[in-house]
Amino acid sequence: MHGILLVDKPRGWTSHDVVQWVRKRLRTQTVGHGGTLDPAAEGLLVIAVGIATRLVQHATEADKSYVAHIVLGTSTTSDDLEGEPLAASPLTVHPPSRRDVDSVLTEFLGEYDQQPPIYSALKVGGVAAYRRARAGEPVTLVRRLVRVNSLRLVQYSYPDLVVSIDCGKGFYVRSFARDLGARLGTGAYLHGLVRTRVGRFSLASAWSIDALNDLLTPSSWPLIARHPDEFVAELPVLLVPERELRAWYHGAPVRCSASSLPGTTARAYAPDGNWIGLAQFDPQKRYWQPVLVHREGTGRRGKTPNADRSLLE
């Protein structure tokens, strides 16, 4: 079994819980995910199965979109609903106006250095930061560069505000909530979070756990899964001629006429439309080197690279 499964992760489940659940349903261990969601968060979790796990980093590194419910007026130890409350804001009587909030939101656009939350899975001395924090140990995390593409205030009625966020990889919405509260002078914490997009994948196309509970089996997998090559759909297409297929499947370099493709990496297809992996072009030796080989017969047959790949056949 190979492919991509889009799951609408419910609140209370960890990302690992979903991976383990899919492993049990499909009776395979080769399952991973493309970007962690906190247990309190909901929304799109991209699951990779089989050879798709070799490509899942493309989802991890992709831009993502969220809808965040933030509560002003106090902060918490974990920057979200799960933590202990800290001191309440003295500005509760005169809360910031919508214009104030809109103005501060613009300060987060673009790139800036963000301080990750101490209750995170980032490693400190080989141990997850949240484990050290829960044990009462001091935790120091290095600030890191993040990028915010867009921010839109969807709804505001103090102390609650809802924000739509489009951001790059490594962005912590909990940290954003904390920093937003600090700049407004009110304090804030993340009350709820829904991830709506991961790269080209949308929450609207995801399956709920309830639906998958009835549908997800090894026999139904071809009807549910998306094709692995959707992880690299932005790459150009390389057609490997019949005479070069034997070399390709043995991992040997192949010579194709499409050496003028933009970039150095391409998704490769056999003449019958089978996706057969990824290749990198060597401009000095003028050949394509396989970097990921997908065995013939395990991909999608009889379809062109530009066809709809919502099913794995």
Nearest-10 Cα torsion for 15, 115, 198, 66: 90
Whole-number Å distance between alpha carbons of 287 and 254: 6
Structure tokens given for 32: 């991973």
Among 8, 38, 179, 229, the active-site one is 38
Number of Cβ atoms within 10 Å of the Cβ of 29: 8
Query: Which two tokens mark 161?
Result: 């505000």
- The token duo for 76 is 């918490």
- 80: annotated active-site residue: no
Angle, vertex CA 62, rays to CA 130 and CA 117, nearest 5: 20
Cβ atoms within 10 Å of 79's Cβ, excluding its own: 26
Distance CA 122, CA 135 (A): 15
Distance separating alpha carbons of residues 30 and 142, to the nearest angstrom: 33
The CA-atom distances, in angstroms, between 61 and each of 2, 9, 163, 168, 169 are 21, 19, 22, 8, 5
On whether the CB atoms of residues 66 and 202 are closer than 8 A, the answer is no
Task: Please give the positions annotated as active site.
Answer: 38
